[in-house]
Every structure is written in C-alpha cells, then in structure tokens.
C-alpha cells in the first residue's frame, strides 16, 4: 500500500455539508494517521470548520469550488449543469488524475453514480457498477450488493456482482474463498425470477475458485449471516437495506420507551445497561455507513446524506480499508485482469449441458 492514503472528500455533499464532513474527517484521521485529505468545496465554509481541528488542517488541502450538486438534481441534470466545477465531480476527478486514492461523498446518490461511471468508467467485463455495503449479522458481517445503483439485471450482471462481492469479502474478511448466496424468495431451485435461477445455475456450474456458491438465501438469511456475500439486484437490495435500517431505529425507540415506562423498567435498565449499549451499537446504522461503488476503475464511497460526523467517519474508514487492502487489484485478479472471468460466462443452458 502507499505510504499515505489520499482521500478526496466532497465537503458540500449531504444534508449538512462541511459541518459534518470536516469533524468526520478529524475522527477518522485520529484512527488512521497515515491519511491525507483533499477537501473539495466552498473554502469559506470549510476553513472555519478546519480551524477547530488543527491536526486535520495540517493533513489537508482545500480545493475551492462554490458549486454543489443538489440532493434533488436528477443524474442527467447533474451531468449537464456545472458538472466539471461541482465539488462532487472534482472529488471524483482527483481519483481519475491520481491525486487521490478514493473519493467519498454524502451527496446525491444517483448523481454520484452517474458521474463516477461517466468519468472513471467500468472495469473490463463489468456492465454496471453496484453499491456495496457491509451488513452486521449474527455471525459478524456480510457484504451485500447491489444496494440501489441500478434496477434489474440479467444473469451475467448477477454473476459479476458475485465475483466483485467475493473479492471485497476476501479483502475485508481475509477469506480466500468466501461463501456467496443469491437473495431470493425461497431456497428451492425452482423459485424466483428466471434471471436469478439462471445466475444460480451458472455459478454452480462454473465452480469458480475464488468463491463458494451456496445457493439461494431468503431475506431473513441476511441477518443470520448465512453467507459472506449476498447478491441481489438494486431494487430489492435497496428495499432490504431501508427496511433493515427502519427496523433498527424502530427497535431502538421501542426499547427506549419500554425502559422509561415504569420504575421497575428503569431499575432493570440500570442492571442491564451494558448489554443495552452493546445492542444499540450493533443496531446503529451510522456504524454500517459507507457504500462502495464496485466495478469502476477507481474507488468511490457513498455515505448516507443524513449521518452524524461519527457516521461519516465510518464511511471514510471504509474508503481507507479499500485502499489499504488494494481492493481494485484484487477485483482485477478475480476478473483475470482482462474481464475473461465474466466475458466467458456461459448461459445457464450452456453451463449445465
């Protein structure tokens, strides 16, 4: 890995912008002293925040622009209007030019994906990038993709997601052959859409050395940690993500209300406070923040727009790990560098014949 990990931050992205991005960067810097930041955005808004964090200021360079992509902009609008001068574009451009190893933004997801794909392009053999997240489970963590980059996908797309997800899991979990499951409405081979069944048959027939395909996984299997990698297309993946985040917040609120319902409940909370804190930490969506855009010729990480500074720091941590463990090289190796691992994927009919 390089002696310094260079991270470009879109300081104008998200619901708040610099007041969250800058302290988030300071938190991450304390955990990773070998980081240098490019802070892209309005200098007048960035500098007052930097003054509060001297160590971050010493490790940062500000790239000024007062153009920001709105959270309401459609991807096509973001690409047309002020594209090359926006903070989002300039952060991605730093990766393209080699001035940064990773770009991180809490801004408009559609615009970030459109700009990243347009400017960085996709890896050989990859048709469409995917948003990939780390999902807390009963057994630890799983890689889940796609969480909303694109809607729908044929068998080839799902197989490419499996390969890329396995690469990320092998990097993060130090597993040479991570297990992979396809999200489906049942575990039986006859269930699900045709493209899911075809992808399953293809993965089983190919028996790729870099992953262990275990079959279909139902929605409750994600939280159980039945596989290191869960593969689905973006529509169902995004619904699963938002449902899980909403359930976590609902459970936290219900527990809080119950603990305040009576003096007995309050007394019980005092005795079990440590256990409840551990549960709260595990259910906190902020601590699972940071979706990696896999399939690009560069590393881009998407943070939730409404996170706290601590939550944004977790997104920076994800970007740091992707660079630290050389994710792009690992994916390229799994794709046989020239995309041969995917361009040679047979159809399900050919695979089982």
Placement of tokens 């256990």 in the chain: 275
Please give the pLDDT value at position 135: 85
Please say if the pLDDT value at position 7 is more than 80.
yes
Please say if the pLDDT value at position 21 is more than 90.
yes
Q: Which of 54-68, 117-131, 210-224, 265-279 has the lowest mean pLDDT?
A: 265-279
Please give the pLDDT value at position 138: 83
The most confident of 11-20, 139-148, 264-273, 277-286, by mean pLDDT: 11-20
pLDDT band for position 248 (cuts 50, 70, 90): confident
Please give the pLDDT value at position 87: 94
* pTM of the model as a whole: 0.82
Query: What radius of gyration, in Å, describes the C-alpha atoms of the chain?
Result: 21
CB 35 within 8 A of CB 5: yes
**CA angle 295–299–300, rounded 5-degree value:** 95
Alpha helices in the chain (DSSP H): 18-31, 43-50, 54-58, 75-80, 87-97, 109-120, 155-173, 194-206, 220-224, 234-259, 263-271, 273-283, 309-324, 327-334, 340-343, 348-352
Please give the pLDDT value at position 217: 92
Spacing of C-alpha 209 from chain mean position: 25
Please give the pLDDT value at position 125: 77
pLDDT digits (tens, 9 = 90+) for 47-75: 999 999 999 999 999 999 998 888 888 88
- Proportion of the chain above pLDDT 70, given as a percent: 85
CB 91 within 8 A of CB 64: no
Please give the pLDDT value at position 212: 93
Please say if the pLDDT value at position 91 is more than 90.
yes
Sheet arrangement for strand 130-137 = 60-64, 35-41, 5-10, 102-105, 299-302, 291-294, 130-137, 140-145, 229-231, 179-183, 212-217
What are phi and psi for residue 320, nearest 5 degrees?
-60, -45
First to last CA, the chain: 44
């Amino acid at each position: 890995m390089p002696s310094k990990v260079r991270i470009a931050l879109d300081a104008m992205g998200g619901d708040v912008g610099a007041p969250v991005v800058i302290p988030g960067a300071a938190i991450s810097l304390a955990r990773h002293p070998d980081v240098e930041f490019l802070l892209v955005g309005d200098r007048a808004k960035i500098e007052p925040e930097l003054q509060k964090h001297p160590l971050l200021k010493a490790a940062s360079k500000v790239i000024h622009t007062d153009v920001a992509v709105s959270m309401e902009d459609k991807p096509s609008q973001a690409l047309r209007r002020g594209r090359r001068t926006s903070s989002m574009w300039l952060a991605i451009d730093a990766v393209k030019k080699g001035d940064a190893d990773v770009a991180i933004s809490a801004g408009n997801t559609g615009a970030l994906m459109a700009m990243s794909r347009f400017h960085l392009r996709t890896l050989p053999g990859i048709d469409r990038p995917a948003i990939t997240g780390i999902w807390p489970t009963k057994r630890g963590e799983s890689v889940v993709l796609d969480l909303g980059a694109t809607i729908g996908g044929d068998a080839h797309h799902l197989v490419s997601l499996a390969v890329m997800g396995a690469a990320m899991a092998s990097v993060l979990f130090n597993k040479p052959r991570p297990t992979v499951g396809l999200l489906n409405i049942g575990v039986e081979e006859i269930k699900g859409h045709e493209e899911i069944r075809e992808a399953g048959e293809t993965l089983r027939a190919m028996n790729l050395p870099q992953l262990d395909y275990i079959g279909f996984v139902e929605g409750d299997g994600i939280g159980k940690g039945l596989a290191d990698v869960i593969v689905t297309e973006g529509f169902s993946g995004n619904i699963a993500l938002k449902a899980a985040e909403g359930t976590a917040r609902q459970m936290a609120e219900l527990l809080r209300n119950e603990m305040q319902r009576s003096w007995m409940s309050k007394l019980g909370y005092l005795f079990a406070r440590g256990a409840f804190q551990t549960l709260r930490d595990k259910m906190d969506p902020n601590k699972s923040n940071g979706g990696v855009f896999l399939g690009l010729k560069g590393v881009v990480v998407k943070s939730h727009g409404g996170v706290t500074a601590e939550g944004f720091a977790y997104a920076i941590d994800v970007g740091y790990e992707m660079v630290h463990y050389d994710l792009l090289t690992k994916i390229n190796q799994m794709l046989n560098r020239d995309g041969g691992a995917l361009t040679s994927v047979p159809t399900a009919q050919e695979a089982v014949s």
